[in-house]
Amino acid sequence: MCGIFGIFGHEEAANLTYLGLHALQHRGQESAGIASSDGRGLYVHREMGLVQEVFPQAVLGRLVGSAAIGHVRYSTAGGSGIKNAQPLVVDFSMGSLAVAHNGNLTNAEGLRKELEGRGSIFQSSADTETIVHLIAISRGQTLEKRVAEALGQVEGAYSLLFLMPDRMIAVRDPLGIRPLCLGKLKKGGAPVIASESVSFDLIEAELDRELSPGEMLVMDWGGVRSYFPFRREERRECIFEHVYFSRPDTRVGKGTVYEVRRRCGEVLAREAPVEADVVVAVPDSGVPAAIGFARAAGLPFEVGLTRSHYVGRTFIEPQQTIRHFGVRLKLNPVRSTLEGRRVVVIDDSIVRGTTSRKIVKMLRDAGAREVHVRISSPPTRWPCYYGIDTPTRGELIASSHTSEQIARYLTADSLGYLTLDGLQQTVAEVTGGTTPGGFCHACFSGSYPIPFAPTPSSRQLPLLS
Amino acid sequence: MCGIFGIFGHEEAANLTYLGLHALQHRGQESAGIASSDGRGLYVHREMGLVQEVFPQAVLGRLVGSAAIGHVRYSTAGGSGIKNAQPLVVDFSMGSLAVAHNGNLTNAEGLRKELEGRGSIFQSSADTETIVHLIAISRGQTLEKRVAEALGQVEGAYSLLFLMPDRMIAVRDPLGIRPLCLGKLKKGGAPVIASESVSFDLIEAELDRELSPGEMLVMDWGGVRSYFPFRREERRECIFEHVYFSRPDTRVGKGTVYEVRRRCGEVLAREAPVEADVVVAVPDSGVPAAIGFARAAGLPFEVGLTRSHYVGRTFIEPQQTIRHFGVRLKLNPVRSTLEGRRVVVIDDSIVRGTTSRKIVKMLRDAGAREVHVRISSPPTRWPCYYGIDTPTRGELIASSHTSEQIARYLTADSLGYLTLDGLQQTVAEVTGGTTPGGFCHACFSGSYPIPFAPTPSSRQLPLLS
Amino acid sequence: MCGIFGIFGHEEAANLTYLGLHALQHRGQESAGIASSDGRGLYVHREMGLVQEVFPQAVLGRLVGSAAIGHVRYSTAGGSGIKNAQPLVVDFSMGSLAVAHNGNLTNAEGLRKELEGRGSIFQSSADTETIVHLIAISRGQTLEKRVAEALGQVEGAYSLLFLMPDRMIAVRDPLGIRPLCLGKLKKGGAPVIASESVSFDLIEAELDRELSPGEMLVMDWGGVRSYFPFRREERRECIFEHVYFSRPDTRVGKGTVYEVRRRCGEVLAREAPVEADVVVAVPDSGVPAAIGFARAAGLPFEVGLTRSHYVGRTFIEPQQTIRHFGVRLKLNPVRSTLEGRRVVVIDDSIVRGTTSRKIVKMLRDAGAREVHVRISSPPTRWPCYYGIDTPTRGELIASSHTSEQIARYLTADSLGYLTLDGLQQTVAEVTGGTTPGGFCHACFSGSYPIPFAPTPSSRQLPLLS
Amino acid sequence: MCGIFGIFGHEEAANLTYLGLHALQHRGQESAGIASSDGRGLYVHREMGLVQEVFPQAVLGRLVGSAAIGHVRYSTAGGSGIKNAQPLVVDFSMGSLAVAHNGNLTNAEGLRKELEGRGSIFQSSADTETIVHLIAISRGQTLEKRVAEALGQVEGAYSLLFLMPDRMIAVRDPLGIRPLCLGKLKKGGAPVIASESVSFDLIEAELDRELSPGEMLVMDWGGVRSYFPFRREERRECIFEHVYFSRPDTRVGKGTVYEVRRRCGEVLAREAPVEADVVVAVPDSGVPAAIGFARAAGLPFEVGLTRSHYVGRTFIEPQQTIRHFGVRLKLNPVRSTLEGRRVVVIDDSIVRGTTSRKIVKMLRDAGAREVHVRISSPPTRWPCYYGIDTPTRGELIASSHTSEQIARYLTADSLGYLTLDGLQQTVAEVTGGTTPGGFCHACFSGSYPIPFAPTPSSRQLPLLS
């Protein structure tokens, strides 16, 4: 998971990119970076840390120019470190180029070996460097042509931003797996690109539309031009963005992610009903579905668990020195909600099951008479190869256990999941445009829209530099 | 606002204090400190920053011993800086002494002048130093006697923890303005003291009881002894702790703060009803009351505003370099909840009105057809002199404007507050023990339980050292 | 060892103090601090680290006003840490007061106990706090009177600077043990005070004179006034300042420290002659004496050891994590100077003997045929109680070993020391004003000019805060 | 200027590299880096700062394995920043490769354009990346062959270290411009490579020999093998290493740099004699020549200027925020040496003349009656293109002014330089092996041994990342 943002044609390009990245901070807290252009050259700064830590005012001030792209990153196994921070900035035959990437290539290892065989050198373990090499060896006359030619060779998920001194290019992969949308500033109309529409809200831009799968937008002083350089494919948007990653206030189609999640809760209440006294959420991501579940079930929605915001997001933090205090550092029960009650607790997903098990115990210790776990997505059974850092199959509890077995492991009185049909139907209804078949749901179904190399690389990677 | 924590008789005293302070982090993010005792001497570390920043493992490891007290602090005007970080540690005639203080003395200035006249020197601007001077010049034979004699001379609000090599003392002021409670570790039974019970949840201690107003607890290897060294006064607990400061999962009497707030929302719905389509909260503190309001009003509760947790708490942060981007850095509307709807938005209080005005505008910009503001406490009209950093009277919008005038300023379609009776009644009912008259509600009523010096000091204070 | 600097009546007081402290950096590298006055209040900043690290431009800019005092500090056993960093700034009955101190009181422990008995509290382990307490409890009408009354009660060595909003006071102890001199800016004539004249060179001030033992200078907008509030005593300047601590370019009387040291080398050559081929110094402090020795002995002076300046000063650094690599991290032989030669190596003193032994071995390993150690001061046999951090008697090799025994331990072919007479005579001749009897040479002779408490305190001190 | 160090076959490879770099710290203080190998992969850490700042114990501990190379760097115009810190580590078709480079290529710009034309991308502005690209596109079967083929295409000065998991390669350019020497650990005999022999002294290794110009050493578990893959050329060692850069304790041929410099002083005294009373040095680099000058002239050598070691080396520091205080921050006169005397002051070179002018003024202000400047090298008239960061020709005062004109600018009573013949003759005599013609002295003579591209690149470089 990463977040990307770009703007072309505003004198405070770096400042607006800083704000845009701040709004995307939930998509990655490991490193942040911005590259700007003043029409002649590129300027870049990237570092480990949160956006507000990486960019004190003095640093932002050095990122001059009227175009900029930015990136926030979370770490993946083995790929942590400043070397993989983005945007990547290189010099090549056409001049200087900066790239920001959200996604994951499935044929990167093969391409890398080919490129190395041809004489290329690699200074990071990021797929992005592979894309840049392909652009550099392309014989296209324009950056657009080279980007199209390079991306024609890669497979996988990518939302990309390219910046050269005179232009910015945004591309969404042919299946549209990772999100990317276009907006424009209310004042002046400069085009902006972001992973989620929440970036636009903050900087007073308005959402124009999502990029179509396979679309390439070229922005320069002549305006914004749209191309479709790839073979058209069936849309396969990542459905897990709706379940977990995107912010609830992000707009999708004619609705919002919040609405999707609340309605998933409603459907879940019908698909997996239970006799109970109260519905609580695992905060914050479980709240919308819990509101929906409670309403559809005719049960009161209450706050049963509070969350400390002085500890980072479990799923994303690369180093957790205080993990041994367990989930209690982050979550705490509200005793008056739970005592003597039959409690339904709503979460967005179960990965390994260890956290859920601790939550059930926490609820019981606080006096809950019964604990019924309801998950607002189907069982997570398969790893993602398209840019989300999930455990291996073996670690995913649902890949090898039935719901009954999992419920027993969690010590829950019952466990219920949303069906894949229910999820797809709901997302399609809320977003309004996508047909139920238009999603990538490989993490639930194992139905991968893009084939991938079966053996992950075991190559020894250089340490942090 | 500050938070204090102490433990006596556990070999990991400093580690548990670290965790206890983490659970109290919402009470102060400016500085943190811990003093420990190994029975012979005291060890201390304090620094500006969050608990997890101030105490890396290596520092914690140096805080040896089986007793410890800790403190988290938020800044008040003019008093920021490491000099005022606590615990304060001094040597005096009885040996070494550490003190952690939550509250504010109303006769500190006068006492300070008297002490200076007597030859005392002051190295900070904190009231705590005044208390320590009074202890040092007392002729009492034991620390208990000296503490009682010293506190007999001060007026104001204080919850205090004292640590000497062989004992720990906890004191709550005679009116019980600031909270303080006693617990014990489930394993081993070591006594623990904290501003709020949430500290106990994290470290696997159980809440025993709140300290009574005017109670002094002495903890040493002989156990815990209770004294009441002061003249008994009528209990006057700060009601604003329930409205805003305490964490919702904090237990008060036989209920929780969450329950108080939710029921305040229910009462508010009856006291200030409105025709509307949806109820939303200003997160996070408005959520419980919004749930209650929605339920009592028979309206759907929805998420209408999201909150970014990558920016600190508005009311508490001393420096806000990015304040000019306004509330949008922190809050963002969920368009699908608001569009075309008549919206009730619930907040806990209105201070200056500037933030509320921006929120109303944000809701309207996101499509709300009507915006009705409901506040789950009475109008805040008077400054607090007992340890909460509030603006001067002139800055409190409700001190000089009627509700109608405020509503107009906010550009709200209507504005309603909870009545003071409603608030007192609700807190009393949920907590179970306190009669409606037992609160300090000076911020709402101007009825100050302790007189105070009218002219604040204009003394030039030394800068940060 | 510490260094102090003060200036009264220049609009860039803090900047000039910063420079003045930089020139005194050799007197202490552990912490640095500056307090300034704008006529109404005091401003202070102090931190662990070198002057240039502690005072970035932004911090200096906050230290407004036209008077300032500063301090650099090296740590003593048990007294390290920010709590003991100076200037100490307090509020007392007359207002705000800052103090910077170089020296050590010999009756501090007793005074401290008395003051504690009277009700005083101590927040540091520094003697300076004792002095401030004595000032605070004095009944004198002016700061001058209080300072005189307070210092009338202390015993030991002190060079002190006091700053209040409207005046600055400098005091040198009655024996004149620690140095202090008065200068004035060439432009404007503002008075400046410093431990050594090298501070004046840097800021374009000229040396006026050394303060007399027991002299108190009061500087305010009315000018500089001199007082002698104490009983006159025989001058007892620290002779070790000449041997080791002061910078060679520091002016003393009508000469310089360099000249003293070079002439000590000349006397040493006559007192302890040796047949040899070459004279080398242990850099940097042995260089002047080696030049003198070589000249008087008619031998060539050469560079035989180089010194890395990327490692701090051995005698002063409180933490030496890389000490195990030994003296080789700092010194390295110049083989072409040493190979096959009979080498005289000059050092200023021998403390424990361990470093000297390593140096002799290093010289031999580099090919020296003979190694003759010559020390440009007498054997160091007694600890200093007046402000220099020396080892205990037991650790001083010369306290229990003859020169022959030490030479054998060092594996030197011969060892010779300067006599105390030779040292005193030389210093007296070069400085021109002091009679041979006018020095404190207790470290060599055991003849302490001030009695001292025999049992050092074993009180447990609080850790770094 | 940079320093490089490598070791193969010792279990504490990274620790020894850390020490070796510490001994080379004078060659670059901007950044430091180490890459290690455990036989399977490479580990790397590099950062801005001094060796001891960049490598705390925890970081060193992560650099596992029994081979390592390291680098210290000083900045050149436009090339500052972490991107250019070394060792550079890349993956290419043969695996992982780390490179450390001291020197400068003269055809880098052309090679870079060619490589970009071929499709290569560049992530830094360092020549080293060009070399790595050439290795990557080589078709050689072994690293040795590829390195030889790559370096066959470059022109300029280079001392290089390459590390792959199973081998280390050291190469010195065909003219031998930059130094490089081979040693072995006294215990165990592991081979070590360093820019200067002082690295060996520190780690208890012994100097074996300097690498011959054009020599390539391959070190693996089979031992050390020597190759000469390039066409033999006439040796052209940088003579300025002797004058300024190398440490005086560095061994060159059968002598030391100290001896070279002292004898240059002796020759200078004969070539440019003067009537005077005393000889002083501009410390530290002028000291050896001043000793020699004084001896040959029969004048006393004295310390006339002291140097503060709390400020970095003028010639090397990239940012000098306090430069406006001038040379006085670093140098201070010893008045007793200068007053009323005719002074000869010895420095190693004059670059722009501004510092020398300040020194002359400083000596006069301290009372010198006459000031005679003597320079222990010829006039510096031409910029260096082989790895030393010198000003452009226009800034070199000697490129456009006669000695008389310069003397007048300096306000010196006389000015004398060493002749190029005198310098060459002296170096040849001391080192014993090199004929007078075997040096690169282009900075003095303009006789460049390698042609170079006349127009420096004006390409816009990316900012620090």
Q: What is the DSSP annotation of B279-343?
A: EEE-TTTTHHHHHHHHHHHT--B---EEE-TTS--TTT-S--TTGGGGGGGTEEE-HHHHTT-EE
- What is the average pLDDT value for chain D, to the nearest integer? 91
Q: Write out the catalytic residue numbers of C.
A: 2
Nearest-CB residue to C121 (from B42, B46, B132): B132
Per the annotation, the verdict on D440 as an active-site residue is no
pLDDT digits (tens, 9 = 90+) for A165-221: 999 999 999 999 999 999 999 999 999 999 999 999 999 999 999 999 999 999 999
pLDDT digits (tens, 9 = 90+) for A268-309: 999 999 999 999 999 999 999 999 999 999 999 999 999 998
CA angle B53, B58, B62 (to 5 degrees): 110
pLDDT digits (tens, 9 = 90+) for A373-410: 999 999 999 999 998 877 888 899 999 999 999 999 99
- Rounded to the nearest 5°, which phi and psi values hold at B381? -115, -15
Chain B residues whose beta carbon lies within 8 Å of the beta carbon of residue C146: none
How many angstroms separate the first and last alpha carbons of chain B?
22
Asked which of C326-330, C430-434, D106-110, D433-437 is least confident by mean pLDDT, the reply is D433-437
Nearest-CB residue to A121 (from D35, D63, D133): D133
* pLDDT reading at D24 higher than 80: yes
| Residue B248 confidence class, pLDDT cut points 50, 70, 90 | very high
pLDDT value, residue D158: 96
Strands D156-164 and D181-185: unpaired
Query: Is residue C291 a contact partner of residue C344, using CB atoms and an 8 Å limit?
Result: no
Nearest to residue A151, comparing CAs of A233, A45, A271? A233
Chain B residues whose beta carbon lies within 8 Å of the beta carbon of residue A22: 308, 310, 329
Given its phi and psi angles, is residue C434 left (phi above 0), alpha (psi -120 to 50 degrees) or beta? beta
**CA quadruple C107, C112, C113, C117: dihedral, nearest 10:** 140
Chain A residues whose beta carbon lies within 8 Å of the beta carbon of residue D33: 465
Query: Is residue B110 a contact partner of residue B102, using CB atoms and an 8 Å limit?
Result: no
| Residue B325 confidence class, pLDDT cut points 50, 70, 90 | low
Nearest-CB residue to D202 (from C23, C300, C329): C329
How many angstroms separate the first and last alpha carbons of chain A?
22
Strands A439-440 and A237-238: parallel
C337 or D319, greater pLDDT? C337
Asked which of A231-235, B323-327, D131-135 is least confident by mean pLDDT, the reply is B323-327
A 290-349: CB under 8 A from B: 291, 295, 300-303, 306, 308-311, 321-322, 325, 328-329, 332-337
pLDDT digits (tens, 9 = 90+) for D381-401: 999 999 887 788 899 999 999
| C136 inside 8 A of chain B by CB | yes
Beta bridge partners of C194: C5, C181
- Burial (CB < 10 A; 0-12, 13-18, 19+), residue B395, is middle
pLDDT digits (tens, 9 = 90+) for D189-214: 999 999 999 999 999 999 999 999 99
Chain D residues whose beta carbon lies within 8 Å of the beta carbon of residue A463: 43-45, 62-63
| B188 inside 8 A of chain C by CB | no
Provide the shortest C-alpha distance from residue C2 to chain D (in Å). Answer: 16
Q: What is the mean pLDDT of each run of 10 residues along chain C (465 residues)?
A: 96 95 94 96 94 89 96 71 88 97 93 96 93 96 97 96 98 96 96 97 94 97 96 92 95 94 98 98 96 98 94 39 65 97 98 96 97 98 88 92 97 98 95 77 95 48 39
The distance from CA A19 to its chain's CA centroid, rounded to whole angstroms, is 18
- Is D335 in Cβ contact with C310 (below 8 Å)? no
Query: Is residue B38 a contact partner of residue B13, using CB atoms and an 8 Å limit?
Result: no
Asked which of B282-286, B385-389, C61-65 is least confident by mean pLDDT, the reply is B385-389
Output b/e per residue, A291-311; b: 16+ Cβ within 10 A: bbbbbbbebbbbbbbbbbbbb
| A189 inside 8 A of chain B by CB | no
| C74 inside 8 A of chain D by CB | no
- Residue D296, token pair as written in the block: 């040959």
Q: Which distant-in-sequence residues (6+ apart) come within 8 Å of B208 by Cβ?
A: B181, B182, B183, B184
| A88 inside 8 A of chain D by CB | yes
Given its phi and psi angles, is residue D68 left (phi above 0), alpha (psi -120 to 50 degrees) or beta? beta
Q: What is C325-360 written as a DSSP string?
A: GGGGGTEEE-HHHHTT-EEEEEES--SSSHHHHHHH
Please state the ipTM of this predicted complex: 0.92
pLDDT digits (tens, 9 = 90+) for D444-462: 999 999 976 544 443 333 4
Measure the CA–CA gap between D148 and A231, rounded to whole angstroms. 46
Pick among A46, A47, A91, A122 to test the D interface (most D CBs inside 10 A): A91
Given its phi and psi angles, is residue C100 left (phi above 0), alpha (psi -120 to 50 degrees) or beta? beta
pLDDT value, residue A79: 59
Calculate the alpha carbon distances from A269 to A296, A369, B101, B182, C380 in Å.
6, 20, 49, 41, 87
- Pinpoint the alpha helices (H) of D152-242: 198-203, 240
- What is the average pLDDT value for chain A, to the nearest integer? 91
In chain C, the domains with their CATH numbers are 2-234 (3.60.20.10), 251-445 (3.40.50.2020)
Q: How many CA atoms lie within 13 A of C1 on its CB side?
A: 24
